[in-house]
Structure 1
Amino acid sequence: MIPSDAESAGSADALVVGAGHNGLVAANLLADAGWDVTVLEATGAPGGAVRSAEVTAPGYLSDLYSSFYPLGYASPVLRGLDLDRYGLSWRHAPDVLAHLLPDGRAAVLNRDPEVTAASMEAFAPGDGERWLHAYRDWTEVAEPMLDTILAPFPPVRGGLTLLRRLRVSGALRLARRLVVPIRKLGAELFDGEGGPVLLAGCALHTDLSPEEAGSGVYGWLLAMLGQQVGWPVPDGGAQKITDALVARLTERGGRILYGAPVDRVLTARGRAMGVRTVGGALWRARRAVLADVPAPALYLDLVGAAALPPRLVEDLAHFRWDGSTLKVDWALSAPVPWTNRAVATAGTVHLGADLDGLTTYSAELARHELPRRPFLLVGQMTVADPSHSPPGTESLWSYTHLPFRRHWRAEEITAHVDRMEQVLEEAAPGFRDLIVGRHVAGPADLEKGDPSLVGGALGGGTAAAYQQLFLRPIPGLGRADTPVDRLYLASASAHPGGGVHGAPGANAARAALARDRALTGGLYAAGIGAAHRAIYR
């Protein structure tokens, strides 16, 4: 409802709630279409989980949340924005990824397929050629695959291209690969341990276990993108992505208002009319409201259950978050003293577990236990981009998953940081002696810095198959459209989910534009409305 006695703060064609990268992508695309766009950001800075700052020691730059961007680099959405014109450029570490096994061996992914193949061959004769064969399979489907993954659901154009290219039998094999667990996929592709553990470590960037349906596609996608384009970082830090998006939007007349938390989406006759910010100021949306916030926050907090179909509210009770996250940044006086020097040139390092160890770690998380030996994802930022710290030093980070919880005791976080440092010390004796600064961000700290990271969950909801495609964020259309006309979900809670690729924001902007078109808008709205009524009645 719209209060009659509240102060009017302003109006715009589109109001975008949240200046995370998805909100900024949506705002840019609407501004490209000539819309007047205002972005309302709750915090004092744009970017959401794409930001950088010096938090460990002077002269050491840390990416506060996300760092390496294979999906962002390959994304047709971000590529179409020409962000290089606004200062964004990319750098690569000498090696993309190394998975360090507990016995000291390392599986190494390099952008040169032959170098990667040689690493795989060291684990089992023939695995080098098997890697090259897997990569050739990927290159046949890479472009339409990314188009299919990042497009609105259903992905008609990309799906048809895949079907033409693969024919029915090939498409069925690909469909199987999309649901097979990563342990099974690794065993089918390789004889040795190197290939499977490399894929499985990539899959565990999500909240899925090696045995879980759908984990195969995540591991395969990230590993093959690493082979094809690397896992690059923005030159000068993650903040450069945000700065480019903000500069592009500003150039097109878009506005961003900081310190403006929205506490209500205003509706009338089933249509979004604007928003109210904390303090009571009203903003009118002439054409659309797009929300770069988690789905539960949009539906239950900003819209309210009374304005929604009861079935939708019931389904939201079963919405599952991905796991909580603990991230630590270190300023080191020298590079990490890895025992296995093959790890020293990798931008990203996985360590703390072999394949069975990854299963044990995932099982502990599933039982809501703190893993006794955490699996670590580590970023050697100075290796990837020397501007992150003074010459001869290293700006290092690591994160590990925790069971999802909103509240953690300080002593639990402190003890787990000690476990993380112990894993690093075992792999790199003398690591602790090099620490000159440390910054710990537990789940509550991550959420405080970016309210969309609820409980430190990075993905806007689980990556499990039961909450993907037309089931994301709940059973429905799998699109940005909501049951409220002219209101669109533009966050990682919408298809295709987490990752810095801009697709949820782009999909929301496209949906808003399609709704607004004079000739097709009425049919579009009627069709979406009928679909939602059929699903949620």
Structure 2
Amino acid sequence: MSIPTTADAVVIGAGHNGLVAAAMLADEGWDVVVLEAQDQPGGAVKSAELFPGYTSDLYSAFYPLSVMSPALKALHLEDHGLRWSHSPAVVGHARNAEDDDAPVLWRELDRTVADLNRRTPGDGDRWRDLFTQWRRIREPLLETLFSPFPPVRGAVGLLKELGTAEALRLAHLLLLPAGIMAERLFEGEDARLLLLGNAMHADVPIDAPGSGVMGYMLIMMGQDGGFPVPVGGAGQLTAALVNRATSAGARIECGHEVEAIDVRGRRAVSVRTTGGNTVRVRRAVIADTSAPALYRNLLPADALPASVLQDFDRFVWDTPVLKINYALDAPIPWRSKSLSDAGTVHLGADHDGLIRWMADLNTGTVPLHPFLLFGQMTTADPTRSPEGTESAWAYTHLPRGVDDDASADQLSAAVDVVLEKHAPGFSDHIVGKTIQRPSDLQASDANLHAGAVNGGTSQLFQQLIFRPIPGFGGADTPIENVFLGSAGASPGGGVHGVCGRNAARAALGGDGKLGWPRRQFNRAVLALTTK
């Protein structure tokens, strides 16, 4: 079947953000076509049977942001086939290879509190107080973090809830380096490590300003909604998004790579594919692509201010990811039995080890002692592999710019050493293993450029009004009806769909009373910074 020749909106890319945008536009009666270069939708939300009988998530795996996201909650994906599953414990962090009593964040608040108080008297109570505050401020805080810049409505809500003095203290807390935040909040190493390990889900060094916000958000979200997984694999989340978008009338066409957006008089008029198809655009184009791909490859250079193109010469990607998938014929023999119940496990580094690990990455050194995230998928969802086995993965980072053949093999060997130390006998239970190098990630999803999974660094200099480059901070671009709807736009990476939602709202012009002044503010800033 040929693709349409005309549409109200073309969405470039069928990742989760693109699918969210497509569903929202179709809900408003727009004629929407989604063009996806790969042969199936989903972007970095996919699963596959890499080993017979074992379901592996190929990219993202746990979804605390998804269940809290206002963008995804508004789509009611549970009505379109999505079911969530949880591991008994949310996340654990082993202090070192000899740790036989690793701290764990339990799904039940009282259990987490009691365990942390056992380890360091008072830390469990501090955790409860922090969580009590989180429940008070959750909605306005998420509104603040998930809105285009400036986040007026959420900020006003925080001021109403907390008052000026407490709101300023919260803002100061969230801007702290993760190491300092952990010391401010807790007395003992166990609670601190739970925060620090979660902070490392982003690519911000724990001694850098703003690195604490990810740790704070994930431990609070983990205590609140857990780290759930879709029953049957990450691909089931994509399947629900596809069902939701198509049921609203959106059309999803895979195997069609867009090569250019045609612009006339500051507006996009059509998109062209590498296969020779042209789709004329009546209203808008939403790009669920990386920011550099949109500005460097898809938009004509003569339609953009020279300063914008120069700024993209300085665009910073997040560090490349190495992912290793395992099929195991038995549960993992953890030295610390507490880790057996955790879906997500942090291994390989305490506070000082995390700093040394980041130093390796920042100096182009392949780490010999890597910090890694480890996922026990069958523990979280028993459908992932036969009873008594485990489908699992490990995830860590390489330095930017290194050859990913030899370096990936070297780092993979170091990962196996870490796992064997924390779980003696681990290697004896491996019945299947595959490595996804940074080049593999990019080949399967162009947005994962050189293995970067967050659409660009999450460090403060490339967030908020500096994302993707200074003067932006939302979905708007210098082309009036073209919007960036990927992790390259604020608020950035993670499976929350907010980038797609923000782009759809901007295209619709229907983002409430604050939408018009926010867009005028963003366009004024764009005008000032793109001269």
**Which TM bucket (shorter chain)?**
over 0.9
Equivalence for 2:448: 453
Equivalence for 1:468: 463
Q: What is the distance in 1 between the residues matched to 2:400 and 2:288?
A: 21
Q: CA deviation at 1:500?
A: 0.3
Equivalence for 1:3: none
CA contact (8 A) 1:152 1:495 kept: yes
Q: Does 1:513 align with 2:508?
A: yes
Equivalence for 1:322: 318
How large is the RMSD of aligned CA atoms in angstroms? Answer: 2.0
Q: What is the distance in 1 between the residues matched to 2:109 and 2:516?
A: 51
Q: CA deviation at 1:531?
A: 4.2
Which SS does the other structure have where 1:274 is aligned? strand
Q: What is the distance in 1 between the residues matched to 2:411 and 2:465?
A: 37
* Unaligned runs of at least 5 residues, structure 1: 1-6
Which SS does the other structure have where 2:509 is aligned? helix
Q: CA deviation at 1:516?
A: 12
Q: What is the distance in 2 between the residues matched to 1:192 and 1:123?
A: 8
Q: What is the distance in 1 between the residues matched to 2:516 and 2:452?
A: 38
71, 81, 84: which one aligns with 1:87: 81
* TM superposition outliers: structure 1 runs of 4+ over 6 Å: 519-527
Which deviates more from structure 2 when the two are superposed, residues 120-129 or residues 255-264? 120-129
Task: Give the letter aligned to residue 489 of structure 1.
Answer: L
Aligned residue runs from structure 1 range 43-442, under 5 A: 43-55=38-50, 57-102=51-96, 103-104=98-99, 105-405=101-401, 408-442=403-437
Task: Give the letter aligned to residue 84 of structure 1.
Answer: E
Which SS does the other structure have where 1:122 is aligned? helix
**Structure 2 CA distance for partners of 1:429 and 1:520, relative to 1, 3 Å:** closer
Equivalence for 1:26: 21
Which deviates more from structure 2 when the two are superposed, residues 32-41 or residues 117-126? 117-126
Task: Give the letter aligned to residue 301 of structure 1.
Answer: N
Q: CA deviation at 1:121?
A: 2.2
**Structure 2 CA distance for partners of 1:338 and 1:484, relative to 1, 3 Å:** same
CA contact (8 A) 1:485 1:525 kept: no
Q: What is the distance in 1 between the residues matched to 2:35 and 2:118?
A: 53
Q: What is the distance in 2 between the residues matched to 1:356 and 1:123?
A: 20
Q: How many residues align?
A: 528
Q: CA deviation at 1:43?
A: 0.5
Task: Give the letter aligned to residue 142 of structure 2.
Answer: L
Q: CA deviation at 1:94?
A: 0.2
* Unaligned runs of at least 5 residues, structure 2: none
CA contact (8 A) 1:52 1:62 kept: yes
Q: CA deviation at 1:528?
A: 5.7
Which SS does the other structure have where 2:335 is aligned? coil
Which SS does the other structure have where 1:344 is aligned? helix
Which deviates more from structure 2 when the two are superposed, residues 310-319 or residues 329-338? 310-319
Q: CA deviation at 1:527?
A: 6.9
Which SS does the other structure have where 1:143 is aligned? helix
Q: CA deviation at 1:520?
A: 12
Equivalence for 2:488: 493
Q: CA deviation at 1:283?
A: 1.1
Q: What is the distance in 1 between the residues matched to 2:439 and 2:514?
A: 45
Q: CA deviation at 1:279?
A: 3.2
Identity of aligned residues (%): 49
Q: What is the distance in 2 between the residues matched to 1:122 and 1:285?
A: 62
CA contact (8 A) 2:3 2:253 kept: no
Q: What is the distance in 2 between the residues matched to 1:18 and 1:25?
A: 11
Which SS does the other structure have where 1:67 is aligned? coil
The two structures have a TM-score, normalised by structure 2, of: 0.96
Task: Give the letter aligned to residue 315 of structure 2.
Answer: F
